Amino acid sequence: MSRYDEMSELLDQLEPDITKFYEKGNKAAGTRARKTLQAMKKKAQEIRMEIQEWKNTGKV
């Protein structure tokens, strides 16, 4: 799975919970959204580190 696909999958997971939280006030959906956002943050950091490593080693 590509890095783009990984981030896209997380974003797809986030959408229904964000909608439920903001439009319906569902607190449990807010908790799930926060969890998914944290996973996105972690994945983004992994990608950033990978990009930096590739730049430094000349893989690109």
Contact, 3 vs 42, CB < 8 A? no
pLDDT at position 18? 98
Residue 40 CB burial class (10 angstroms; 0-12, 13-18, ≥19):
middle
Contact, 45 vs 58, CB < 8 A? no
* Residue-wise pLDDT tens digits, 2-58: 999 999 999 999 999 999 999 999 999 999 999 999 999 999 999 999 999 999 998
pLDDT at position 1 over 80: no
What contacts 1, CB < 8 A, 6 or more positions away?
9
The radius of gyration computed from the CA coordinates of the chain, to the nearest angstrom, equals: 15
Say what the pTM is: 0.85
Looking at per-residue pLDDT, the higher value among 1 and 23 belongs to 23
Expressed in percent and rounded to 5, the helix, strand and coil fractions of the chain are 90, 0, 10
Domain boundaries, the chain: 3-57
pLDDT at position 59? 77
